[in-house]
């Protein structure tokens, strides 16, 4: 549905040229959710803006739904852009228009009959969970509600593709989850292909099928989310994954933590489950085989691309010998084990 071929984008300032994108190629199959993740300044915004030619690439080809956008006349491009929706970090709603009027905007420009606008906007507001809000102005809405309006507005023109430019970056974690769930629902229900950019691996983990990692204007790694999570190749991909799976040691454990074994203290283990880890009930197996009891201090287990990932902090009760055997057992199940210290 989206194909970028060897996209290079240079910005020319007085005395110098900045290469924001360098020979970027990617393919987003129809109906998939593709994430591009990168740090600040990596080129994410430039990349997503090249897909609808808000930014014209210096060289390369942009093909959306079989059309090479670079070859189109301004009129043809305007028509093609109707089928490429976009939502933004700061929502970009019209503050002087109500929720209804914001969503109706593109339909009005199209001279859609009033009764049809009424029906369509009502349907769209129901789809994004904003029934009853049609007469409100953006100023009275929460961030999550504003993004829902923006999503309804872009769906009004029946896009085949939705571009999401850091769409959840301004939202709190719970609202982020609900907007991501809405995007996934739209993707499945309406078969809309989604390309999103983000600096958070959580977003990729939650809804993407495929991911590309961008650094200094280049795609340094790309593949299925399950593949990248289980076999990350570059240090940057590993760092993004670690950030999505990070776990803090609770402060009272932190205070009691010592580096070396000591009488009366028990090992504190961090278990990291990756895509390669065996999906067995390992804690109870360890308890049975090695007479080890485990106290789960905190855990963060999740699925990405259909594979279980996560991290768990456990306090281990047992003899030193049995504890070492348990560690070897975890490793044999492809679970990464780190002895954080002793508590």
Ligand X SMILES: Nc1ncnc2c1ncn2[C@@H]1O[C@H](COP(=O)(O)OP(=O)(O)OP(=O)(O)O)[C@@H](O)[C@H]1O
Closest CB to ligand X among residues 12, 111: 12
Instruction: Decide whether 220 or 287 has the Cβ nearer to ligand X.
Output: 220
Identify which of residues 216 and 227 has a Cβ nearer to ligand X in the complex: 216
- Nearest-approach distance from CB 149 to ligand X, in angstroms: 23
b/e per residue 144-162 (b: at least 16 CB within 10 A): bbbbbbbbbbbbbbebbbb
Q: DSSP code of 316?
A: E
Site for ligand X, rule CB under 6 A = 11, 18, 20, 38, 40-46, 199
Query: Whole-number minimum distance, CB 17 to ligand X, in Å?
Result: 9
Nearer to ligand X, 11 or 303 (CB): 11
Nearer Cβ to ligand X, position 21 or 107? 21
CB of 266 to ligand X, least distance (A): 43
Strand runs labelled E in the chain:
2-12, 17-28, 33-38, 59-64, 67-68, 84-88, 161-165, 193-198, 210-215, 218-224, 267-273, 293-304, 307-317, 335-342
CA separation for the pair 112, 186 (Å, rounded): 23
- Minimum distance between the CB of residue 325 and ligand X, rounded to whole angstroms? 47
* Distance (Å, whole) CA 343 – CA 329: 22
CB of 166 to ligand X, least distance (A): 7
DSSP string across 34-65: EEEEE-TTSSHHHHHHHHTTSS--SEEEEEET
């Amino acid at each position: 549905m989206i194909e970028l071929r060897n996209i290079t984008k240079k910005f020319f300032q007085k005395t110098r040229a900045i290469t924001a994108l360098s020979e970027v190629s990617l393919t987003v199959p129809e109906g998939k959710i593709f994430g591009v993740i990168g740090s600040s300044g990596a080129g994410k915004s430039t990349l997503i803006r090249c897909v609808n030619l808000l930014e014209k690439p210096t060289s390369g080809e942009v093909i959306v739904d079989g059309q090479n956008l670079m070859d189109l006349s301004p009129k043809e491009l305007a028509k093609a852009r109707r089928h490429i929706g976009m939502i933004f970090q700061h929502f970009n709603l019209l503050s002087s228009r109500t929720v209804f009027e914001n969503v109706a905007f593109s339909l009005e420009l199209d001279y859609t009959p009033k009764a049809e606008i009424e029906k369509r906007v009502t349907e769209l507001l129901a789809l994004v969970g904003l029934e009853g809000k049609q007469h409100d102005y953006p100023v009275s809405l929460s961030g999550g509600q504003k993004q829902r309006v923006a999503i309804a507005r872009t769906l009004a023109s029946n896009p085949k593709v939705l571009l999401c430019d850091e769409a959840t970056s301004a939202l709190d974690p719970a609202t982020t989850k609900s907007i991501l769930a809405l995007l996934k629902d739209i993707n499945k229900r309406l078969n809309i292909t989604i390309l999103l950019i983000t600096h958070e691996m959580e977003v990729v983990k939650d809804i993407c099928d495929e991911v590309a990692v961008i650094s200094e204007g280049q795609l340094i790694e790309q593949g299925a989310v399950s593949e990248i999570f289980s076999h990350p190749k570059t240090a940057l991909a590993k760092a993004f994954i670690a950030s999505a799976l990070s776990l803090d040691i609770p402060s009272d454990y932190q205070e009691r933590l010592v580096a070396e074994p000591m009488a009366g203290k028990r090992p504190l283990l961090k278990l990291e489950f990756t895509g390669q880890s065996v999906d067995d009930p390992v804690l109870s197996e360890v308890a049975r085989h090695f007479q080890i009891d485990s106290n789960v201090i905190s855990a963060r287990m999740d699925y990405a691309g259909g594979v279980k990932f996560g991290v768990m902090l456990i306090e281990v009760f047992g003899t030193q010998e049995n504890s070492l055997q348990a560690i070897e057992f975890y490793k044999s199940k492809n679970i990464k084990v780190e002895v954080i210290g002793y508590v």
